[in-house]
């Protein structure tokens, strides 16, 4: 069974055309995570 993160990453792979787009999508995901995760939130 795939985890929600694995599913999300698979969607990135399907919907992006280049490795650069995959990286940008992942970076945007991490920015949002760090903004909302209470441990990292400022």
pLDDT tens for 13-33 read 999 999 999 999 999 999 999
Pick the closest to residue 26 from 9, 3, 7, 6 (CA basis): 9
- Global pTM value: 0.75
Whether 42 shows a pLDDT value over 90: the answer reads no
User: What is the structure's pLDDT at 30?
Assistant: 94
- The per-residue pLDDT of the chain, averaged, comes to 92
Dihedral sign for Cα atoms in the order 9, 20, 28, 34: positive
pLDDT score of 3 more than 90: yes
pLDDT of amino acid 41: 76
């Amino acid at each position: 069974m795939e985890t929600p993160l694995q599913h999300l990453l698979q969607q990135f792979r399907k919907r992006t055309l280049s490795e650069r787009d995959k990286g940008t999508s992942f970076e945007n995901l991490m920015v949002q995570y760090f903004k909302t995760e209470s441990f990292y939130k400022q």
